[in-house]
Structures are given as C-alpha cells and as structure tokens.
Amino acid sequence: MGDDFFKGVGFCVGREGPELYVKTIERLGLYMSTQFKNGSNDKKCLMKENLVKPTVPVLAENHMQNDKRVWEYHMGELMKTERVLEGNLCNLFAILMSLCDSDMKNC
C-alpha cells in the first residue's frame, strides 16, 4: 500500500471537496486499520474527529492483592496503547497533509 492506495482521493477547497472528503476519510480509515499498530483505535479518532483514549481500568477500593496486580498490568498496557496512539496520530497528520492540495494547505 502506498501512493496507489490514495490515488483519486485527497482534500481540496473546490466544488468536489465535500464528496472527495468523504471518500478520503473512508480510505484513510481502511489504511489505518490495516497498516498501523492498534489501527482500530486510530480509526475511532479519525471517524469521531477527536482523540478517543482507551477506557481506564478501575481498581476497587476493597481489592485483593491479585486484583491490584491485574490492574497494574492493565494500566501498563493502557499506557503503551496511548503512546502508540499518539505516534500513529502524528503519522496520520503527515499523511493528511500529503493528501491536501496547495489551496487547502494555505487555508
């Protein structure tokens, strides 16, 4: 996947802009879900046009020692997922900018 994957899509200010926007977002969602680590999390952000972080696990007040260990494990995984998400969104920005025509970049 690469340049051919995004052939015929992009962002522009012209009359075809809104229709092209929808096609481009759909194509980006597919690209992210297949090419990025944890791409489904990135796709959620793209579709909602907002940062969607994973749910934080809750540790019960009267927890057992094993519950705390499980919670610590889940928190560690959550932090890794958030770091990957942030990196992927930076990569997504670069892809988005490459799909903009010069008029759109200057808006």
Write the DSSP string, 28-85. Answer: HHHHHHHHSTTHHHHHHHHHHTS--PPPPP---TT--HHHHHHHHHHHHHHHHHHHHH
CB neighbour class for 31 (10 Å; exposed up to 12, middle 13-18, buried from 19): buried
54: left (phi over 0), alpha (psi -120 to 50) or beta: beta
Residue whose entry in the numeric block shows the structure tokens 């940062």: 51
Mean per-residue pLDDT for 22-49? 89
Looking at the structure of the chain, the number of domains it has is: 1
Task: Using a cut of 0.85, tell me whether the model's pTM lies above it.
Answer: no
Report whether pLDDT(85) > 70.
yes
Cα angle value 74/31/18 (rounded, 5°):
115
Residue-wise pLDDT for 38-75, tens only, equals 888 888 888 888 888 889 999 999 999 999 999 999 99
Average pLDDT across the chain, whole number: 89
State which amino acid sits at residue 15: R
Mean per-residue pLDDT for 17-23? 90
Domain that holds residue 20: 3-105
* pLDDT at 2 (0 to 100): 57
CB neighbour class for 43 (10 Å; exposed up to 12, middle 13-18, buried from 19): buried
